[in-house]
Structure 1
Amino acid sequence: RAAAQRAKLQADMDAAAAQRIADAVMAQAREQRQDAEAAFADVRAQADAQADAETRQDALFSAAQDALMAVQADESRLQAEAEGLAQALSSDGEDDAFAPIADALRVPDGLEVALAASISEGLEASVDARAARHWTRSAGDVAPLPSGAIALGTLVEAPVEALRALSAVGLVESTADGDRLAPALQAGQTLVTRDGALWRWDGYRIRAGHPD
Protein backbone atom coordinates (compact mmCIF):
# COMPACT_ATOMS: atom_id res chain seq x y z
CA ARG A 1 0.00 0.00 0.00
CA ALA A 2 2.83 2.40 0.76
CA ALA A 3 4.25 1.69 -2.67
CA ALA A 4 0.93 2.59 -4.26
CA GLN A 5 0.80 5.85 -2.38
CA ARG A 6 4.32 6.74 -3.46
CA ALA A 7 3.41 5.96 -7.06
CA LYS A 8 0.33 8.17 -6.89
CA LEU A 9 2.32 10.99 -5.29
CA GLN A 10 4.94 10.73 -8.02
CA ALA A 11 2.24 10.77 -10.67
CA ASP A 12 0.68 13.88 -9.14
CA MET A 13 4.07 15.57 -9.02
CA ASP A 14 4.74 14.67 -12.65
CA ALA A 15 1.33 15.98 -13.67
CA ALA A 16 1.91 19.24 -11.79
CA ALA A 17 5.31 19.65 -13.44
CA ALA A 18 3.79 18.97 -16.85
CA GLN A 19 1.07 21.54 -16.17
CA ARG A 20 3.67 24.13 -15.18
CA ILE A 21 5.58 23.44 -18.38
CA ALA A 22 2.38 23.70 -20.42
CA ASP A 23 1.43 26.95 -18.70
CA ALA A 24 4.89 28.38 -19.36
CA VAL A 25 4.72 27.36 -23.03
CA MET A 26 1.25 28.91 -23.38
CA ALA A 27 2.37 32.09 -21.65
CA GLN A 28 5.32 32.36 -24.01
CA ALA A 29 3.05 31.72 -26.98
CA ARG A 30 0.64 34.44 -25.83
CA GLU A 31 3.52 36.85 -25.37
CA GLN A 32 4.82 36.09 -28.86
CA ARG A 33 1.32 36.53 -30.31
CA GLN A 34 0.94 39.88 -28.54
CA ASP A 35 4.34 40.99 -29.84
CA ALA A 36 3.36 39.93 -33.37
CA GLU A 37 0.03 41.77 -33.12
CA ALA A 38 1.79 44.89 -31.84
CA ALA A 39 4.32 44.71 -34.68
CA PHE A 40 1.52 44.23 -37.22
CA ALA A 41 -0.41 47.19 -35.78
CA ASP A 42 2.72 49.34 -35.96
CA VAL A 43 3.38 48.39 -39.58
CA ARG A 44 -0.27 49.02 -40.46
CA ALA A 45 -0.20 52.42 -38.75
CA GLN A 46 2.94 53.34 -40.69
CA ALA A 47 1.31 52.21 -43.93
CA ASP A 48 -1.84 54.24 -43.16
CA ALA A 49 0.26 57.28 -42.30
CA GLN A 50 2.20 56.92 -45.54
CA ALA A 51 -1.04 56.57 -47.52
CA ASP A 52 -2.43 59.70 -45.83
CA ALA A 53 0.78 61.56 -46.57
CA GLU A 54 0.64 60.49 -50.22
CA THR A 55 -3.00 61.59 -50.41
CA ARG A 56 -2.13 64.98 -48.93
CA GLN A 57 0.83 65.25 -51.27
CA ASP A 58 -1.39 64.46 -54.26
CA ALA A 59 -3.91 67.08 -53.10
CA LEU A 60 -1.17 69.68 -52.65
CA PHE A 61 0.24 68.88 -56.08
CA SER A 62 -3.19 69.14 -57.68
CA ALA A 63 -3.87 72.47 -55.95
CA ALA A 64 -0.47 73.81 -57.01
CA GLN A 65 -1.09 72.68 -60.58
CA ASP A 66 -4.51 74.38 -60.63
CA ALA A 67 -2.98 77.57 -59.23
CA LEU A 68 -0.26 77.50 -61.88
CA MET A 69 -2.79 77.02 -64.67
CA ALA A 70 -4.87 79.92 -63.31
CA VAL A 71 -1.81 82.18 -63.20
CA GLN A 72 -0.86 81.17 -66.75
CA ALA A 73 -4.41 81.88 -67.94
CA ASP A 74 -4.37 85.30 -66.24
CA GLU A 75 -0.98 86.01 -67.77
CA SER A 76 -2.25 85.11 -71.25
CA ARG A 77 -5.37 87.23 -70.77
CA LEU A 78 -3.40 90.22 -69.51
CA GLN A 79 -0.91 89.87 -72.34
CA ALA A 80 -3.75 89.80 -74.88
CA GLU A 81 -5.34 92.86 -73.26
CA ALA A 82 -2.01 94.67 -73.23
CA GLU A 83 -1.40 93.86 -76.88
CA GLY A 84 -4.92 94.97 -77.77
CA LEU A 85 -4.49 98.21 -75.85
CA ALA A 86 -1.12 98.84 -77.45
CA GLN A 87 -2.62 98.23 -80.88
CA ALA A 88 -5.54 100.53 -80.12
CA LEU A 89 -3.24 103.25 -78.86
CA SER A 90 -1.05 102.79 -81.90
CA SER A 91 -4.06 103.10 -84.19
CA ASP A 92 -5.24 106.18 -82.33
CA GLY A 93 -1.81 107.68 -82.71
CA GLU A 94 -1.85 107.01 -86.43
CA ASP A 95 -5.26 108.65 -86.79
CA ASP A 96 -4.14 111.79 -84.97
CA ALA A 97 -2.85 113.05 -88.31
CA PHE A 98 -6.37 112.95 -89.80
CA ALA A 99 -9.22 115.23 -88.82
CA PRO A 100 -12.18 113.38 -87.27
CA ILE A 101 -15.52 113.66 -88.99
CA ALA A 102 -16.86 115.35 -85.86
CA ASP A 103 -14.96 118.48 -86.91
CA ALA A 104 -16.99 118.64 -90.13
CA LEU A 105 -20.43 118.18 -88.56
CA ARG A 106 -22.87 121.00 -87.97
CA VAL A 107 -25.16 119.86 -85.18
CA PRO A 108 -28.23 121.83 -84.08
CA ASP A 109 -28.40 122.68 -80.40
CA GLY A 110 -29.91 119.87 -78.37
CA LEU A 111 -28.92 117.05 -80.73
CA GLU A 112 -25.36 116.56 -79.51
CA VAL A 113 -26.23 113.74 -77.11
CA ALA A 114 -28.45 112.00 -79.66
CA LEU A 115 -25.69 112.14 -82.26
CA ALA A 116 -23.05 110.80 -79.87
CA ALA A 117 -25.33 107.96 -78.78
CA SER A 118 -26.16 106.93 -82.33
CA ILE A 119 -22.75 106.80 -84.02
CA SER A 120 -20.50 106.90 -80.92
CA GLU A 121 -16.87 106.12 -81.87
CA GLY A 122 -17.60 106.88 -85.51
CA LEU A 123 -17.30 110.54 -84.56
CA GLU A 124 -13.55 110.07 -84.10
CA ALA A 125 -13.10 108.44 -87.52
CA SER A 126 -11.92 110.44 -90.50
CA VAL A 127 -13.16 110.67 -94.08
CA ASP A 128 -9.56 110.19 -95.22
CA ALA A 129 -9.10 106.62 -96.46
CA ARG A 130 -5.51 106.61 -95.20
CA ALA A 131 -6.72 106.65 -91.59
CA ALA A 132 -7.04 103.36 -89.75
CA ARG A 133 -10.66 104.22 -88.99
CA HIS A 134 -12.44 106.13 -91.71
CA TRP A 135 -15.77 106.72 -93.41
CA THR A 136 -16.36 105.91 -97.08
CA ARG A 137 -19.16 106.75 -99.45
CA SER A 138 -21.73 104.01 -99.81
CA ALA A 139 -24.28 103.68 -102.57
CA GLY A 140 -27.81 102.37 -102.46
CA ASP A 141 -31.15 103.50 -101.17
CA VAL A 142 -31.79 103.83 -97.46
CA ALA A 143 -34.92 102.11 -96.17
CA PRO A 144 -37.50 104.54 -94.80
CA LEU A 145 -37.62 104.93 -91.04
CA PRO A 146 -40.79 104.15 -89.08
CA SER A 147 -43.40 106.88 -89.42
CA GLY A 148 -42.89 109.49 -86.72
CA ALA A 149 -39.07 109.24 -86.63
CA ILE A 150 -37.01 112.04 -88.20
CA ALA A 151 -33.75 111.02 -89.87
CA LEU A 152 -30.70 112.67 -88.32
CA GLY A 153 -29.34 113.02 -91.84
CA THR A 154 -31.97 115.70 -92.46
CA LEU A 155 -31.10 117.59 -89.27
CA VAL A 156 -27.31 117.40 -89.12
CA GLU A 157 -25.01 118.87 -91.76
CA ALA A 158 -22.40 116.20 -92.43
CA PRO A 159 -19.97 115.02 -95.12
CA VAL A 160 -21.56 112.75 -97.69
CA GLU A 161 -19.60 109.80 -96.30
CA ALA A 162 -21.68 109.90 -93.10
CA LEU A 163 -25.07 110.76 -94.57
CA ARG A 164 -26.09 107.14 -95.15
CA ALA A 165 -25.39 106.26 -91.52
CA LEU A 166 -27.20 109.35 -90.24
CA SER A 167 -30.16 108.66 -92.51
CA ALA A 168 -30.58 105.29 -90.79
CA VAL A 169 -30.90 106.98 -87.38
CA GLY A 170 -34.35 108.24 -86.47
CA LEU A 171 -34.91 110.93 -83.86
CA VAL A 172 -37.96 110.37 -81.63
CA GLU A 173 -39.30 112.75 -79.03
CA SER A 174 -39.84 110.37 -76.13
CA THR A 175 -39.06 106.96 -74.70
CA ALA A 176 -42.66 105.97 -75.31
CA ASP A 177 -42.25 106.80 -79.01
CA GLY A 178 -39.07 104.74 -79.16
CA ASP A 179 -40.72 101.74 -77.51
CA ARG A 180 -43.65 102.02 -79.90
CA LEU A 181 -41.64 102.39 -83.11
CA ALA A 182 -38.70 100.06 -82.36
CA PRO A 183 -40.48 96.88 -83.58
CA ALA A 184 -40.80 98.50 -87.03
CA LEU A 185 -37.06 99.12 -87.45
CA GLN A 186 -35.39 97.48 -90.43
CA ALA A 187 -31.87 96.05 -90.56
CA GLY A 188 -29.26 98.70 -89.82
CA GLN A 189 -31.70 101.26 -88.41
CA THR A 190 -31.66 102.94 -85.01
CA LEU A 191 -33.92 105.22 -83.01
CA VAL A 192 -32.59 107.79 -80.56
CA THR A 193 -33.96 110.49 -78.26
CA ARG A 194 -32.41 113.87 -77.53
CA ASP A 195 -31.25 112.62 -74.12
CA GLY A 196 -29.47 109.58 -75.57
CA ALA A 197 -31.92 106.70 -75.23
CA LEU A 198 -31.33 104.30 -78.12
CA TRP A 199 -33.14 101.42 -79.82
CA ARG A 200 -31.35 99.31 -82.42
CA TRP A 201 -33.00 97.16 -85.07
CA ASP A 202 -31.56 93.93 -83.61
CA GLY A 203 -33.08 94.50 -80.17
CA TYR A 204 -30.12 96.23 -78.54
CA ARG A 205 -31.21 99.02 -76.20
CA ILE A 206 -29.47 101.80 -74.24
CA ARG A 207 -31.32 103.81 -71.62
CA ALA A 208 -30.87 107.56 -71.45
CA GLY A 209 -27.92 108.58 -69.32
CA HIS A 210 -26.04 105.31 -69.95
CA PRO A 211 -23.87 105.82 -73.04
CA ASP A 212 -22.42 102.80 -74.83
Structure 2
Amino acid sequence: VALLEETEAAAIAAEQAVAEERAAESAARPPVQDAKAELARIETEARTLAKILNAASGDLFPSVLEQISVERGYETALGAALGEDLDVPLDRSAPVHWGQSEIQPGDAALPEGIASLASVVRAPAQLARRLAQIGIVEAGDGKRLQALLAPGQRLVSREGALWRWDGFT
Protein backbone atom coordinates (compact mmCIF):
# COMPACT_ATOMS: atom_id res chain seq x y z
CA VAL A 1 0.00 0.00 0.00
CA ALA A 2 2.84 2.40 0.85
CA LEU A 3 4.48 1.68 -2.49
CA LEU A 4 1.21 2.36 -4.29
CA GLU A 5 0.78 5.69 -2.46
CA GLU A 6 4.37 6.61 -3.28
CA THR A 7 3.85 5.81 -6.95
CA GLU A 8 0.60 7.81 -7.06
CA ALA A 9 2.33 10.79 -5.41
CA ALA A 10 5.17 10.57 -7.95
CA ALA A 11 2.67 10.40 -10.80
CA ILE A 12 0.80 13.45 -9.47
CA ALA A 13 4.09 15.35 -9.09
CA ALA A 14 5.10 14.39 -12.63
CA GLU A 15 1.74 15.55 -13.99
CA GLN A 16 2.12 18.86 -12.15
CA ALA A 17 5.64 19.27 -13.53
CA VAL A 18 4.38 18.58 -17.06
CA ALA A 19 1.55 21.10 -16.59
CA GLU A 20 4.03 23.73 -15.31
CA GLU A 21 6.37 23.13 -18.26
CA ARG A 22 3.48 23.41 -20.71
CA ALA A 23 2.46 26.70 -19.09
CA ALA A 24 6.05 27.97 -19.33
CA GLU A 25 6.21 26.94 -22.99
CA SER A 26 2.91 28.69 -23.69
CA ALA A 27 4.16 31.84 -21.96
CA ALA A 28 7.39 31.78 -23.99
CA ARG A 29 5.66 31.25 -27.33
CA PRO A 30 4.28 34.81 -27.90
CA PRO A 31 7.67 36.58 -27.48
CA VAL A 32 9.28 34.08 -29.87
CA GLN A 33 6.46 34.56 -32.38
CA ASP A 34 6.77 38.34 -32.00
CA ALA A 35 10.51 38.15 -32.62
CA LYS A 36 10.01 35.96 -35.71
CA ALA A 37 7.41 38.38 -37.05
CA GLU A 38 9.74 41.34 -36.46
CA LEU A 39 12.58 39.51 -38.20
CA ALA A 40 10.34 38.75 -41.19
CA ARG A 41 9.28 42.40 -41.32
CA ILE A 42 12.89 43.62 -41.26
CA GLU A 43 13.97 41.10 -43.91
CA THR A 44 11.10 42.16 -46.15
CA GLU A 45 11.98 45.81 -45.66
CA ALA A 46 15.63 45.11 -46.49
CA ARG A 47 14.68 43.23 -49.67
CA THR A 48 12.33 46.02 -50.69
CA LEU A 49 14.94 48.72 -50.11
CA ALA A 50 17.50 46.71 -52.08
CA LYS A 51 15.04 46.40 -54.97
CA ILE A 52 14.30 50.12 -54.85
CA LEU A 53 17.99 51.00 -54.89
CA ASN A 54 18.69 48.53 -57.68
CA ALA A 55 15.71 49.75 -59.70
CA ALA A 56 16.67 53.35 -59.05
CA SER A 57 20.21 52.78 -60.20
CA GLY A 58 19.39 50.35 -63.05
CA ASP A 59 20.78 51.73 -66.29
CA LEU A 60 20.97 55.17 -64.75
CA PHE A 61 24.17 54.25 -62.88
CA PRO A 62 26.14 51.60 -64.77
CA SER A 63 28.62 49.63 -62.68
CA VAL A 64 32.32 50.35 -62.90
CA LEU A 65 32.78 46.81 -64.24
CA GLU A 66 31.45 48.01 -67.58
CA GLN A 67 34.45 50.34 -67.81
CA ILE A 68 37.11 47.78 -66.89
CA SER A 69 39.11 45.50 -69.12
CA VAL A 70 41.44 42.81 -67.83
CA GLU A 71 44.08 40.67 -69.50
CA ARG A 72 42.91 37.15 -70.32
CA GLY A 73 43.50 34.79 -67.42
CA TYR A 74 43.17 37.42 -64.70
CA GLU A 75 39.38 37.71 -64.68
CA THR A 76 38.98 35.47 -61.64
CA ALA A 77 41.71 37.36 -59.78
CA LEU A 78 39.94 40.66 -60.42
CA GLY A 79 36.62 39.26 -59.23
CA ALA A 80 38.16 37.82 -56.06
CA ALA A 81 40.07 41.01 -55.27
CA LEU A 82 37.22 43.48 -55.77
CA GLY A 83 34.10 41.34 -55.35
CA GLU A 84 30.86 43.32 -55.08
CA ASP A 85 32.78 46.57 -55.41
CA LEU A 86 32.81 45.89 -59.16
CA ASP A 87 29.04 46.52 -59.17
CA VAL A 88 29.40 50.02 -57.75
CA PRO A 89 29.04 52.94 -60.22
CA LEU A 90 31.36 55.91 -60.68
CA ASP A 91 28.52 58.43 -60.88
CA ARG A 92 28.69 60.65 -57.80
CA SER A 93 24.92 61.11 -57.86
CA ALA A 94 24.44 57.37 -57.21
CA PRO A 95 23.58 56.47 -53.59
CA VAL A 96 26.86 54.50 -53.38
CA HIS A 97 29.72 55.24 -55.77
CA TRP A 98 33.46 55.14 -56.34
CA GLY A 99 34.99 58.49 -55.45
CA GLN A 100 38.30 59.91 -56.56
CA SER A 101 41.18 58.38 -54.62
CA GLU A 102 44.55 58.95 -56.21
CA ILE A 103 47.71 57.06 -55.35
CA GLN A 104 49.44 58.92 -52.53
CA PRO A 105 53.20 59.30 -51.99
CA GLY A 106 52.81 57.75 -48.52
CA ASP A 107 51.07 54.60 -49.79
CA ALA A 108 53.04 51.48 -48.96
CA ALA A 109 54.60 49.62 -51.86
CA LEU A 110 53.71 45.99 -52.39
CA PRO A 111 56.39 43.56 -51.20
CA GLU A 112 59.40 43.41 -53.52
CA GLY A 113 58.91 41.47 -56.71
CA ILE A 114 55.10 41.42 -56.57
CA ALA A 115 53.27 42.98 -59.52
CA SER A 116 50.08 44.89 -58.83
CA LEU A 117 46.72 44.01 -60.28
CA ALA A 118 46.90 47.42 -61.97
CA SER A 119 49.50 45.93 -64.33
CA VAL A 120 46.88 43.65 -65.93
CA VAL A 121 43.71 45.74 -65.50
CA ARG A 122 42.68 48.86 -67.36
CA ALA A 123 40.22 50.74 -65.20
CA PRO A 124 39.01 54.27 -64.45
CA ALA A 125 41.29 56.45 -62.34
CA GLN A 126 38.99 56.06 -59.33
CA LEU A 127 40.25 52.48 -58.93
CA ALA A 128 43.97 53.24 -59.39
CA ARG A 129 44.80 53.37 -55.69
CA ARG A 130 42.87 50.20 -54.90
CA LEU A 131 44.38 48.24 -57.79
CA ALA A 132 47.89 49.41 -56.88
CA GLN A 133 47.49 47.84 -53.42
CA ILE A 134 46.53 44.38 -54.72
CA GLY A 135 49.41 42.10 -55.64
CA ILE A 136 49.30 39.12 -57.99
CA VAL A 137 51.02 35.99 -56.68
CA GLU A 138 51.17 32.28 -57.31
CA ALA A 139 48.64 30.44 -55.16
CA GLY A 140 51.39 28.55 -53.33
CA ASP A 141 53.15 31.78 -52.28
CA GLY A 142 50.17 33.71 -50.91
CA LYS A 143 50.20 32.49 -47.32
CA ARG A 144 53.96 33.08 -46.96
CA LEU A 145 53.81 36.57 -48.50
CA GLN A 146 50.72 37.63 -46.54
CA ALA A 147 52.88 38.48 -43.52
CA LEU A 148 54.70 41.12 -45.62
CA LEU A 149 51.59 43.12 -46.47
CA ALA A 150 51.03 46.64 -45.20
CA PRO A 151 47.61 47.72 -43.90
CA GLY A 152 45.04 47.78 -46.68
CA GLN A 153 46.99 45.54 -49.05
CA ARG A 154 45.83 42.27 -50.56
CA LEU A 155 47.29 39.45 -52.59
CA VAL A 156 45.35 37.47 -55.14
CA SER A 157 46.17 34.49 -57.32
CA ARG A 158 45.02 34.05 -60.90
CA GLU A 159 42.78 31.26 -59.58
CA GLY A 160 41.03 33.65 -57.19
CA ALA A 161 42.66 32.81 -53.85
CA LEU A 162 42.83 35.94 -51.69
CA TRP A 163 45.04 37.01 -48.78
CA ARG A 164 44.57 40.29 -46.91
CA TRP A 165 46.98 42.19 -44.68
CA ASP A 166 44.77 41.60 -41.62
CA GLY A 167 44.99 37.80 -41.83
CA PHE A 168 41.76 37.25 -43.74
CA THR A 169 42.12 34.56 -46.42
TM-score for both structures, normalised by structure 2? 0.84
Larger RCO (CA within 8 A; separation ≥ 6): 2
After superposition, residues 119-134 of structure 1 pair within 5 angstroms as 119-134=82-97
Are 1:197 and 2:154 matched, yes or no?
no
CA–CA separation in structure 2 for the residues paired with 1:185 and 1:107: 24
Residue in structure 2 matched with residue 57 of structure 1 by the alignment: 19
- After superposition, give the CA deviation of every residue in 1:93-136 in whole Å (9 maximum; x if it has no partner): 22211111111112110111000100111111111011122101
Residue in structure 2 matched with residue 157 of structure 1 by the alignment: 122
Residue in structure 1 matched with residue 152 of structure 2 by the alignment: 188
Residue in structure 2 matched with residue 118 of structure 1 by the alignment: 81
What amino acid is aligned across from residue 82 of structure 1 in structure 2?
T
What amino acid is aligned across from residue 75 of structure 2 in structure 1?
E
Aligned residues: 159
Residues 139 and 159 of structure 2 are in contact (CA less than 8 Å); yes or no, is this contact kept in structure 1? Answer: no
Alignment root-mean-square deviation, CA:
2.2
- Between Structure 1 and Structure 2, which shows a larger proportion of helix residues? 1
Matched position secondary structure for 1:184: coil
CA–CA separation in structure 2 for the residues paired with 1:171 and 1:193: 6
- Following superposition, the deviation at residue 88 of structure 1 comes to 1.7
Residue in structure 2 matched with residue 70 of structure 1 by the alignment: 32
Q: For structure 2, list consecutive stretches of 5 or more residues without a partner in the other structure.
A: none
- Following superposition, the deviation at residue 89 of structure 1 comes to 1.9
- Following superposition, the deviation at residue 66 of structure 1 comes to 2.1
CA–CA separation in structure 2 for the residues paired with 1:54 and 1:178: 63
Deviates more, 1:55-64 or 1:153-162: 55-64
Matched position secondary structure for 1:147: coil
Are 1:95 and 2:57 matched, yes or no?
yes
- Following superposition, the deviation at residue 52 of structure 1 comes to 6.7
TM-score for both structures, normalised by structure 1? 0.68
Residues 145 and 189 of structure 1 are in contact (CA less than 8 Å); yes or no, is this contact kept in structure 2? Answer: yes
* Aligned counterpart in structure 2 of residue 138 of structure 1, from 101, 125, 130: 101
- Following superposition, the deviation at residue 192 of structure 1 comes to 0.2
